[in-house]
């Protein structure tokens, strides 16, 4: 059974919190996109990062606003209360990323529970 358009729009709004926070440089602007227990995984150089999402917020506050950020939602896949999103990002303060998000509908709202990223060098 496929999801209705309203669910795709709700997920896009969740991702928009993330993007708004990226562009503003304020972690509190992106925080509503994430579940409090969310995690983040990816490689920084050869080192695996496997951390609570608070590490993203701390990095973002010190890294600053990504005012030139360009983004594209490449895909959204929904299965009732669970979803995945692939997000392409260019010029996050000079960096390029592909983010893979796992979302869960919690208390009627879509929340990111995991962010897995690839940093294009």
- Which own/partner pairs from 1-5 qualify as long-range (CB within 8 Å, at least 24 positions apart)? 1/80, 2/78, 3/78, 3/79, 3/80, 3/83
Average pLDDT, the chain: 95
Dihedral angle sign, alpha carbons of residues 35, 6, 75, 13: negative
> pLDDT-based confidence at 99, cuts 50/70/90?
very high
Decide if 116 contacts 99 (C-beta within 8 A): yes
Decide if 101 contacts 108 (C-beta within 8 A): no
| The pLDDT value given to residue 14 | 98
| The pLDDT value given to residue 121 | 79
Enumerate domains of the chain plus CATH numbers: 5-120 (3.10.450.50)
């Amino acid at each position: 059974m496929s999801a209705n358009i309203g669910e795709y729009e709700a997920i896009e709004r969740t991702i928009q919190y993330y993007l708004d926070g990226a562009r503003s440089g304020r972690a509190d602007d992106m925080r509503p996109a994430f579940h409090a227990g969310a995690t983040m995984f990816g490689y920084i150089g050869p080192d695996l990062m496997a951390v609570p999402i608070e590490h993203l917020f701390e990095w973002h506050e010190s890294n600053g606003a990504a005012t030139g950020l360009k983004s594209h939602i490449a895909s959204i896949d929904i299965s009732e209360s669970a979803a995945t999103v692939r997000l392409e990002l260019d010029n996050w303060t000079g960096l390029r990323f592909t983010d893979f998000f796992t979302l869960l509908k919690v208390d009627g709202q879509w929340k990111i529970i995991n962010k897995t990223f690839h940093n294009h060098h």
